[in-house]
Amino acid sequence: MKNSSRFEFSLFGVVLLFAFWFVVSKLVSSDLVFPGPEKVLSHSYRLLVEGKLLRPVGLTFLRAFFGMGLALVAGTILGFLMGLSDRIYLLLQPLNMAIRSVPIVSWLSTVILAWGIGWRGVVFIVFVSLLPIVTFNVCEGVRVVDKKLVEMAKVYSLPKWKIFRAIYMGSVWPFLLSSLKLSIGSMWKVAIVAEYLIGETGLGVQIMQAKFYVNTTEVFSYTLVAVVFGLVLEALFSSLWERGSFEVHS
């Protein structure tokens, strides 16, 4: 399909979504339960003009990004260790699986007792939510490294850092990018949930406050902003991916 046709179809999909939303809101006919898109859009615009939108979005993004960055660094190191050594794999795999299965709310008591309400808890929850994804992906990337390439490198007495950079990093790279793609999709949602529960500022807190005052239109407005921002982030990453911006230097 041509690029222009693809764009037209996507645009039509968005129009269809708003039309469906509009019809449902008319059927429900209660702004308290399900406000329509025209009300939500105009409320979002008002929030933007009043300066109540950009700051929470920025703060939530910073926390989510910081948590993801930490998870990428720690997950890459752990993934490499687990992929290279069977002993470390057997030692850390149960812990990795346990972290993956712990629900976000279960971290709350520990986080609140450790740091109280605030940004650190949010960053930590984003970090622990993404860490197993990155670790698992990097570990898999290391485990599928072509041993024949490593053997070739040994025949030519390549130094270890060259073997690491040329063979291991090249093999792990697609796995790391795939975990980055998954993380970008998740970090945003996890950060908002964490802010909702233990945050002081940010989009999650705004949603929580709007819900407290039974302002459903405002809840929908912040949710719409969160969805749009999340989609833009994913689209941006996908576009860079398709352009080959993340290819291993050849």
Q: How far is Cα 167 from Cα 142, in angstroms, rounded to an integer?
A: 10
Per the CB < 8 A criterion, the answer to whether 172 and 141 are in contact is: yes
Q: How many CB atoms lie within 10 A of CB 242?
A: 9
State the nearest-atom distance from the C-beta of 134 to other proteins, in Å: 21
Exactly one of 3, 94, 151, 243 binds other proteins (CB under 8 A); that residue is 151
Q: How far is Cα 227 from Cα 130, in angstroms, rounded to an integer?
A: 19
Exactly one of 152, 232, 236, 240 binds other proteins (CB under 8 A); that residue is 152
Q: Closer CB to other proteins, residue 101 or residue 250?
A: 250
CA-based torsion, 124, 141, 173, 81: positive or negative = positive
Question: Whole-angstrom distance between the N-terminal and C-terminal Cα of the chain?
Answer: 30
Q: Closer CB to other proteins, residue 62 or residue 150?
A: 150
| Segment near other proteins (CB under 8 A); pick from 37-45, 61-69, 150-158, 231-239 | 150-158
According to the binding rule CB under 8 A, does residue 156 interact with other proteins?
A: yes
12 token code pair:
């039509």
State the nearest-atom distance from the C-beta of 145 to other proteins, in Å: 11
Closest by alpha carbon to 201, among 59, 62, 64, 68? 59
Q: Closer CB to other proteins, residue 172 or residue 190?
A: 172
Q: How far is Cα 226 from Cα 185, in angstroms, rounded to an integer?
A: 12
Size of the site for other proteins (CB under 8 A): 16
Consecutive H or E run containing 225: helix 216-242
| Segment near other proteins (CB under 8 A); pick from 38-46, 116-124, 153-161, 196-204 | 153-161
| Segment near other proteins (CB under 8 A); pick from 3-11, 102-110, 127-135, 165-173 | 165-173
**Inter-CA distances, 115 with 25, 61, 74, 197, Å:** 41, 20, 21, 14
| Segment near other proteins (CB under 8 A); pick from 81-89, 145-153, 185-193, 203-211 | 145-153
Residues in contact with other proteins, shown as a per-residue x/- string from 167 to 196 under the rule CB under 8 A: x--x--x-----------------------
| Segment near other proteins (CB under 8 A); pick from 111-119, 125-133, 166-174, 175-183 | 166-174
Measure CA 235 to chain center. Answer: 13
Q: Closer CB to other proteins, residue 78 or residue 145?
A: 145
> Tokens 């390549």 sit at which residue?
158
State the nearest-atom distance from the C-beta of 76 to other proteins, in Å: 18
206 token code pair:
């705004």
Exactly one of 103, 155, 161, 214 binds other proteins (CB under 8 A); that residue is 155
Q: How far is Cα 11 from Cα 13, in angstroms, rounded to an integer?
A: 5
Q: What are the residues binding other proteins (CB under 8 A)?
A: 148-149, 151-152, 154-156, 158, 162, 166-167, 170, 173, 247-248, 250
